[in-house]
Each structure stands twice: as structure tokens, then as C-alpha cells.
Amino acid sequence: LSGAAGTAGLAAGCGSDAEHHLAPPPLDLSTPLRIPPLLHPAPEPDGVRRYELIMFVGQSALLPGKPTTTWGFNGSYLGPTLRASRGDKVAMTVRNALPEASTVHWHGMRLPAAMDGGPHQLIPAGTRWTPTWTVDQPAATTWYHPHPHGATSQHVYRGLAGLFLIDDDQDAELPTAYGTDDIPLILQDKKLTDRGQLDGDPLKGPFGILGDRILVNGTYNPCFAVTTTRVRLRLLNASNARMYHLAFTDRRRFHLIGTDGGLLTAPVDTDTLDLTPGERAEILVEFAPGDNVVLRTLDRGLDIATGDLDLIRFVAAADLRPAPEPPAILPGPAPIVPPDGARVRHFTLSGRDGINGRPMDMSRIDEVVPVNAVEIWEIENSTDTSHNFHIHEVAFQVLDAAGRPTGGHKDTVFTPARTTVRLAVRFGPFDDPVEPYMYHCHLLRHEDAGMMGQFVTITPGTEHAVPRSYAGVG
Ligand code: C2O
Ligand code: CU
């Protein structure tokens, strides 16, 4: 990864953290929150929405007077918010103007494996990739980010990530004015050197970097001006390893209305929210005129959530436009109930050995799953440190002790040290015996180091015809 043009501050060997790391001064949380621009092209005569993304190296003003070299989509940091509705046909053109190969994975999207943007869909520098699919899933906050095997943590850390919002007509009773009362909050932690560069190497330490500066939508020290009595926040943890344990400084309560896979079936009243890397949540927060409140992350004493940090200030105007009451019920998807006799697969996260004792091998298919199956996946964290677990393409639900689905639909789940989490997993309809999907720890350092495996979904009864080694090209 060295030798990338224009990334001097990121290359290894620029000196140790201790010498060059610049500790953050106290924050006043006053910089207007950046809202990623919306990319929502009109359908063309053939009914297809066409999106263009270009990945390149740029300069960002994270600190005053000290431009930071960053990577972004269509801009120098992060990417535009893509938006499409259920039923839309989408066609992407992703150009790679980076100095090295990358990929773009649609995290949370239900789509054929060849369009998924995992490590096999490599986009060499100077080339483009043109996946197409039909959006067919409930309203949700999904996201996109690179997934080149072994380099995902670097590419995401430098800034490559964006949101992809999916709408469904059901959404109607919730705030939907993007940037006004429907606000994305992309949470990331960074370390900066005294020259204002992203500090060193996210591959250091047991988790990679846990930064001491929080960026929200790429804004350091941010503030959001509230203009309505209720705001919908779409939270994404796009950090490499940090877990957020979110709460407002005045401990005001809010409504959780959605998780990774879409809306819940009813709002949940709470005053804290946990998000591990890759997870999303949607919440409704009420404001009174003149409110001035900070959203923080609180220390939970966990290895991937270190310290209390301020994230963003909300300042409410003296006059707020009224917003509708939170609905008593929400149109989220029905619970995923595993059928009697559902197939159970067991996965042990075993530190340096990867999953089930084997580190990721691009040429090995680990699991073969029938299309449209509902299975129980048991994820056992046999280590003394935190991990989480993400499965591409699927929706799953956590099962409680009695085996009943609990919470909302998800695609990423926290797996604390020395625990087992049981999931009811619904697989998609996409039959492809060759191109695999990934499952992995979403602490990006761990994913890069091999805590990842591959599965294909195939027509039931054709298992015998599936090659157990990767037969694809690329
Ligand atoms: Cu968000 Cu396999 O990734
Ligand atoms: Cu992990």
C-alpha cells in the first residue's frame, strides 16, 4: 500500500504516533454539519436510474489551515448519498481514479453476488465497474464502501464510504426531507498528525486505530441547526473499530424506529443506543425551541469503545416547524421465524485463526446455502476481545434465549467476548454457484487479517454441482 501518490502522510514509516500524534483540543461543537449531497438521478427512458461514482485522492479541510489528504467518491471525503425506491432498476458506473485497485460493496443491499462489490469484483486503477440490479427490499439505510481483500481498513479509513437510502411507500408518516428533518450522521473516529494528516496505519494494535477525533459526515467539531420539532437521524457507524454507546447530554429519551435492515414494527423508547462498525440505526428525536444538546458516546468499559467523547451539538431555533407525532406502529418487515428443523450452522470466531479455525481464503467456498433458505447461524466469539459479525445480502434477526426473533432486521451484530449469538438468517433468491458472498467481522482490521468466509446461494438440490474452490475470474 505504499507509494500511493499524494498520500505521504498515510504511508508507513513517517514516524511513530508518540512523536507526531496531535492531541485534540477541547471542542466547542460549532462547525455546521456537512450533509452529503444527494445523488438521485431521474429514471431515463428505459426506466433505469443511472448513478456515477468516481473514487479519487483529494484534500479535505478537517482542521483549519491544514489540508488533509483523503480519499472520496465524487468529492474529497466520503461520497454522495444515493437514494432509490423499491422496484427501481439502478445502473452504477464506478470509476477508480485511485492509485491502486479497490472495490465498492453495497452493504445491506439484496443483490446478486456478482454485483455485490466484494473482494472478487476488483476494479483495477484506471478502470470502471458497471453493476446493475433491481432494488427489492423494504425501506432501509444501507451504505457503500470498498472491500478489497487485505486493504479494506485503509480504503475506508481514508474516507471511502457513503449512504444508500432505500425508500418504500410505507415510509410516509416519518420525516423524509433529506438534510432538514431526515438527517444522515456518519460516525467515524480519526487520529491526526501535527501536520494534519490521517495518522499512520490503521493496521496497528489489536483493533487498528481507535481515533480521538470524531468526524460526523466528515465534519470535525460539528453542530446541526434544528428547524422542526422532531428530527429523524439515520446513524451509521463507519468507523474501523470504535463502538458507540450513544446518549444525549441531558439524557433525553428518543424513539428507535429502524435498524440495519429497515424499520421496526413499533418505535422503541430509549435513552441509549449501541452501534458497532457497519451497523445503522434510525431514531426520532424531539426538540423544544432553543434546545442546545450534545450527542455523546459514553465509555462502556469495552475494548472497542474507549472514553467519553462528544459527537455533535444540536441547536434548535426559537421557532420550530411542527412535525407529526411518532406513529404508534411502524411498517417494518415481519419477524424472521426459523422453520422447524431449520439448518443450524456454527461459526467460531477464533482470533488469529479466522473463523472456524480457518483464515479467509479467496479460493475456498466455505458454505453452500439453498436460495431463499431460513437458517440458524450461531456465532460464537471464543476470544477475550470484542468482534462483530456481518453477512452480505441477507436479513437476519437475533434470537432470544427461547429461540424467538427479537429486535429488527439486521445484517451486522455485536458479538461480545466469550458469548454466542444466535441468528435467524433469511437468504436471497439469487442462484449463483460461482460468485460468493462474504461473512466477516466488521472490525476492519480483523476482516483484513482473515476473519472472513465465503458462501454461495444455489438452487436446492444442485449442491453436488457446486465447486468448493472459487472458479470465477478476477
Ligand atoms: Cu460493510 Cu463485507 O462489509
Ligand atoms: Cu473482529
List pLDDT tens digits, range 146-196.
999 999 999 999 999 999 999 997 656 899 999 999 999 999 999 888 888
User: Grid coordinates standing for 269?
Assistant: 423508547
The ligand 1 atom nearest the CA atom of 392 = 2
Ligand 1 centre distance from Cα of residue 325 (Å)? 35
- The predicted pLDDT at position 18 comes to 45
Lateral strand order in the sheet of 309-321: 31-32, 222-228, 309-321, 292-297, 244-248, 273-275
Cβ(105) to ligand 1 under 6 A? yes
CATH, residue 298: 2.60.40.420
Beta strand 437-440 with 452-458 is antiparallel
Domain end marker among 134, 167, 200: 167
Whole-number Å distance between alpha carbons of 12 and 32: 33
Closest-CA residue, ligand 1 atom 3, reads 107
Are 23 and 158 contained in the same domain? yes
User: Grid coordinates standing for 337?
Assistant: 421465524
Are 275 and 354 contained in the same domain? no
Cβ(440) to ligand 1 under 6 A? yes
CA angle 244, 250, 251 (to 5 degrees): 55
Q: Does any domain span residue 175?
A: no
- The predicted pLDDT at position 2 comes to 29
SS3 call for 20: helix
Q: Does any domain span residue 50?
A: yes
Q: Does any domain span residue 334?
A: no
State in Å, rounded, how far the first CA of the chain is from the last one. 20
Spans in the chain with pLDDT lower than 70: 1-20, 170-172, 200-204, 472-474
- The predicted pLDDT at position 201 comes to 61
Are 287 and 388 contained in the same domain? no
Domain end marker among 288, 321, 354: 321
Q: What are phi and psi of 153, to 5 degrees?
A: -60, -40
60 is in which domain, residue-wise?
8-167
Ligand 1 centre distance from Cα of residue 116 (Å)? 10
Q: Does any domain span residue 102?
A: yes
**Partners of 220 in beta bridges:** 215
In this structure, the number of other CB atoms found within 10 A of the CB of residue 344 comes to 11
- Which ligand is nearest the CA of 447, by number? 2
Are 282 and 416 contained in the same domain? no
- The predicted pLDDT at position 440 comes to 98
SS3 call for 406: strand
In this structure, the number of other CB atoms found within 10 A of the CB of residue 308 comes to 11
Q: What is the DSSP secondary-structure string of 221-278?
A: SEEEEEEESEEEEEEEE--SS--EEEEETT---EEEEEETTEEEEEEEEES-EEE-TT
Q: Does any domain span residue 163?
A: yes
Whole-number Å distance between alpha carbons of 278 and 186: 10
Are 162 and 188 contained in the same domain? no
**Partners of 1 in beta bridges:** none
Domain end marker among 256, 288, 321: 321
Are 316 and 190 contained in the same domain? yes
Closest-CA residue, ligand 1 atom 1, reads 107
- Which ligand is nearest the CA of 437, by number? 1
Ligand 2 centre distance from Cα of residue 298 (Å)? 21
The ligand 1 atom nearest the CA atom of 278 = 1
Ligand 2 centre distance from Cα of residue 177 (Å)? 36
**Partners of 352 in beta bridges:** none
pTM summary value: 0.94
- The predicted pLDDT at position 1 comes to 27
| 7: CB partners within 8 A, 6+ apart | 57, 69, 99, 158
Ligand 1 centre distance from Cα of residue 317 (Å)? 38
- The predicted pLDDT at position 314 comes to 98
Cβ(278) to ligand 1 under 6 A? yes
Q: Please give the mean pLDDT across all residues of the chain.
A: 92
Q: Does any domain span residue 430?
A: yes
Q: In angstroms, what CA-CA distances link 27 with 136, 218, 226, 300, 313?
A: 42, 16, 20, 22, 10
- The predicted pLDDT at position 17 comes to 43
Are 29 and 157 contained in the same domain? yes
Whole-number Å distance between alpha carbons of 444 and 105: 14
User: How many folded domains does the chain comprise?
Assistant: 3
Q: Does any domain span residue 336?
A: no
